[in-house]
Amino acid sequence: MGVWESILGKDGRRFVKRKDSDAGEHGRALEELRSSMYSDFHTSEGAKRQQQRLCGPFVAMTFNFIVAVGIIMANKVVMGKVGFNFPVALSLIHYVTSWFLMAIFKALSLLPAAPPSKATPFSSLFVLGVVMALATGLANVSLQHNSVGFYQMAKIAVTPTIVLAEFMLFSKKVSLQKVITLGIVSVGVAVATVTDLEFNFFGACVALAWIVPSAVNKILWSNMQQTGNWTALALMWKTSPITIFFFMVLMPLLDPPGVLSFGWNWNNVAAIVISALFGFLLQWSGALALGATSATSHVVLGQFKTCVIMLGGYIFFKSDPGMVSLFGAVVALCGMSFYTYLNLRDSKESSAGAIKQLLPKQNSFSLKPKTIIDEEDNTDAINPV
């Protein structure tokens, strides 16, 4: 017997062993917590689980709605009061700012991990970056060369284009109820927003050319997040350099000259930087909404923003868009509400179906331990200690 054993005695030795055991359990718990946190931040699967847990459909769409209203105000200041009438250059500044912020996140190890390069070919990321630049650039040119009514009609045409494209690319079918509801929403938005339809041949060509990239852009953002382990920030980080490059190509072709000779004073720069920060939040929130819902739901959210802004202006700021436009906005909002109800019902049915499929597997697994316990009980009865 050693010196410590003679001093502590039998009870003392048990106490020390118990303390060592508790310390070992605490150490294992901390190690498990550390590995869990590492998995959540440094693996694409863990990062995607965190995004799905923290940012569901309601949170993502609410975030996108609030930011969209904010960027409308910021861009009105930049385009109106500041007089920065270079839309493609402004979009370029937005994406450069987003990339710079994400570079800071990456340096601080706060940027979610991307899936392995083998999981997603570079061609898919390249196409998404190009389509994003085309969708943004052509939208700005369409708004310059078309009346507001014609521009809104082009935006409404994105909805059936998405439904058709998803059916052709992924064999995704939409129920008859949803088709009718989307039709009602589109008609209501058209009545609410289309007040003039001035035709311009070049503007019409640009609007038609914009519809397909806009639809494909939303479909790819939604599909790549839902079928792969991509998070919104990780996908933005990979595609932003491609988009920035094509913005630099499109800027001299689509923007008027004079961006370098613009009055770059502190007040103007501050307004543009604020707009760029909202641009980053809008891109992030839009990607979150597309990942949490679908391309069609994101378009409906955009139409919802249009109608709410119109009704809010009428209620709070006494603007008068006309009774016909107000009626169209109300009809569109009713259609959007029913469309949301259909989506919630479908999600509940799919969740219930998944649970029913899992129950037989869980029952089959639960039977095996019971058999083992019965055999152990019989063994104990035959060979009592």
Q: What is the pLDDT of residue 218?
A: 92
Q: Residue 271: is it exposed, middle or buried by C-beta count within 10 angstroms (0-12/13-18/19+)? A: middle
Q: Please report which confidence band the pLDDT of residue 21 belongs to, taking 50, 70 and 90 as the band edges.
A: low
Q: What is the pLDDT of residue 378?
A: 39
Question: Can you read off the two tokens belonging to residue 375?
Answer: 């055999």
Distances in Å between the alpha carbon of 210 and those of 68, 175, 186, 206, 250? Answer: 20, 27, 18, 6, 14
- Name the residue type at position 250: L
Instruction: Give me the phi and psi of 3, to 5 degrees please.
Output: -65, -45
Q: What is the DSSP string of 91-154?
A: HHHHHHHHHHHHHHHHHTT-SPPPPPTTTS-HHHHHHHHHHHHHHHHHHHHHHHHS-HHHHHHH
Mean pLDDT of 325-333: 86
Question: Out of 58-67, 138-147, 162-171, 354-363, which region has the weakest mean confidence (pLDDT)?
Answer: 354-363
Judge contact between 237 and 106, C-beta under 8 A: yes
Mean pLDDT of 10-23: 54
Please determine, for residue 352, whether its predicted confidence score (pLDDT) is greater than 80.
no
Question: Can you read off the two tokens belonging to residue 63?
Answer: 């975030």
Alpha carbons within 13 A on the beta-carbon side of 68: 20
Q: Please report which confidence band the pLDDT of residue 370 belongs to, taking 50, 70 and 90 as the band edges.
A: very low
Encode pLDDT of 56-112 as tens digits: 888 888 999 899 888 888 888 888 888 898 889 999 999 999 999 999 999 988 888
Question: Can you read off the two tokens belonging to residue 213?
Answer: 């990239």
Judge contact between 159 and 186, C-beta under 8 A: yes
Q: What is the pLDDT of residue 27?
A: 57
Q: Please report which confidence band the pLDDT of residue 375 belongs to, taking 50, 70 and 90 as the band edges.
A: very low
H or E element that contains 339: helix 323-382
Please determine, for residue 32, whether its predicted confidence score (pLDDT) is greater than 60.
no
Most confident by average pLDDT, 244-248, 290-294, 313-317: 244-248
Judge contact between 279 and 92, C-beta under 8 A: no
Encode pLDDT of 187-201 as tens digits: 888 887 776 666 678
Q: What is the pLDDT of residue 229?
A: 81
**Nearest CA-CA partner of 108 in 272, 199, 233:** 233
Q: Please report which confidence band the pLDDT of residue 365 belongs to, taking 50, 70 and 90 as the band edges.
A: very low
More confident residue, 375 or 362: 362
